[in-house]
Amino acid sequence: MSVKLDCKNRLANEVNFLLEQPIVKNQIVFYGDSGFTRWHRTLPGRPPETLGGLELEEEVLDADGRRCCLNRGFGGATAEELLYYYPQIIRPLEPRALVLNVFGNDTSFAYSPQEIMALLERVIAWARLDFPGIEFYLCTRRISAWHETLDEGNRRAQGIARREYRRLIEDYARSHADCRVLVCEDFPLFFEREEDVGDFDLARRDIFLDDRTHFNRKGYEIYAKFFRYELFGLPF
């Protein structure tokens, strides 16, 4: 598979900010796109109104209420860039688990679900070699209402790609005991009605910023409950 992006330069400012952060080892590291990046109260170069108003590292606490997570999301990231920056961003942290979240940007650069999965597999393979016993949490496409801005044909194509990507990561996790799939659209709090749970297109609309893609504060409050439930079994 040929490289489709200028990985070295495209997101250099975002990555440089991450590389300036303190190294904390043996944490659960959230590694992915802007769904993690905007999980901050403040961020250099970003107006506060574009952020979630909460800090991931303060919200996703373990069962004893202790901090255990690091946010290493960088906005606009694709699976290709997660692989490219793994040695710089992830390896020094020596994580005990990785939460991997991509797909949202990848399809904009014409990566197929199969190509995304192939790149993620390489990230996972590197981490297994570097950190025996590490665990992986593979996120399905994060809930959004962005598809409402698309015409019918593009909306249908996005839906097909989203479902295929979910199938691929679920198939992979079934054959690898160190992997679990985390499915946003199966989490009840993302929906107003119980009968809508599981239908990506029917997620509640009051949890997004005006771009209909990124969470507002309420959305991130739910996102935190989702991860506390999935990672630590905490009730929501």
pLDDT higher than 90, residue 155: no
Are the beta carbons of 40 and 109 closer than 8 angstroms?
no
Per-residue pLDDT reduced to its tens digit, 103-146: 999 998 999 999 999 999 999 999 999 999 999 999 999 998 87
| Overall residue count recorded for the chain in this entry | 236
Q: Confirm whether 54 is domain-assigned.
A: yes
Q: How many angstroms from the chain centroid is the CA of residue 16?
A: 19
Give the number of domains in the chain: 1
How much is the pLDDT for 146?
72
Give residue-wise pLDDT tens across range 53-100.
Answer: 999 999 999 999 999 999 999 989 999 999 999 999 999 999 999 999
The pLDDT value given to residue 106:
94
- Quick check: is 3 in a domain? no
Rounded Cα distance between 161 and 11, Å, is 25
Q: Decide if pLDDT at 158 tops 80.
A: yes
pLDDT at position 187 over 80: yes
CATH number for the domain including 164?
A: 3.40.50.1110
Query: Residue 28: in which H helix or E strand, if any?
Result: strand 28-32
| 97-101 β-sheet, strand order | 69-71, 28-32, 97-101, 135-139, 179-182
Query: Does residue 7 belong to any structural domain of this protein?
Result: no
In a domain, residue 224? The reply is: yes
Q: What is the pLDDT of residue 149?
A: 74
Q: How far apart are CA 113 and CA 163, in angstroms?
A: 9
- Kindly tell me if the per-residue pLDDT of 148 is higher than 80: no
In this structure, which amino acid lies at residue 139?
C
pLDDT for 128 equals 98
Query: Is residue 186 situated within a structural domain?
Result: yes
Q: Is residue 25 one of the residues assigned to a domain?
A: no
pLDDT tens-digit profile of 11-45? 999 999 999 999 999 999 999 999 999 999 999 98
pLDDT value of residue 2: 66
Dihedral (CA of 92, 93, 97, 98) sign: negative
Residue 3: predicted pLDDT: 74
Tell me whether residue 139 is in a domain: yes
**Amino acid 154: pLDDT:** 84
Domain span including residue 201? 33-232
Q: Is residue 1's pLDDT more than 70?
A: no
- The reply to whether 14 falls in a domain is no
pLDDT exceeds 90 at position 153: no
